[in-house]
Amino acid sequence: LFITLYPELLKTKVQQIVLMGGAIGIGNRSPVAEFNILCDPESAKIVFESDTKVVMVPLEVTHTALATGSVLQQIKDIDSPFAKMSVDLLCFFKDTYKDVFDFDDPPVHDPCAVAYVIAPEIFVTKFWHVEVICGEHTCAGQTVCDIWEDFATGKAKNVHVTTKMDVGAFWNMMLSALKECNKTTGFNEYVDKQ
């Protein structure tokens, strides 16, 4: 909506749009569509075709950010109500990921996009043409990534697609953020008073 209503602000006030969404290959809500893009492919298409830098953090990257037993233990070791709640939230979809996707550990998604904003150097990116399939279509919501770099589509490159992330650096950043939040949150005091 912002891009449609205020295109002049996009050019003068927005350096880049970083989003968690899409997939280079297999989706998680249909055979080829990732949930966030599938919810509103028309809006995603507007963003991807906008005249600004767009960075896509797809499932292939977020599925490497697994909340392993080791990661969960490090969070538990913070030893507070906030830490317990954080672990509970990270594990909320654990059974679903095991049952549906055969993941032993649940991935985290949106924090990967935030990590890109903070530390883009921990990511590998490729600049590709990405097209979003819209309409009443079996592939609606698919992000078609031209991995052949214009060979297949002949269209201009428009999206910086992350293809890898330094997972250790990501979790170090997450753990540091959780420890800082634990120091300042009122949640611990609130739970202790209950």
Known catalytic residues are: 109
CA–CA separation, 137 and 30 (whole Å): 11
Length of the chain: 194
Neighbours of 59 (CB within 10 A): 24
Pairing between strand 53-57 and 143-145? unpaired
Phi, psi (rounded to 5 degrees) for 127:
-95, 110
Give the pair of three-digit tokens for residue 174.
Answer: 């997450």
Question: Which residues 6+ apart lie within 8 Å of 68 measured at CB?
Answer: 105
From the CA atom positions of the chain, what is the Rg in Å? Answer: 19
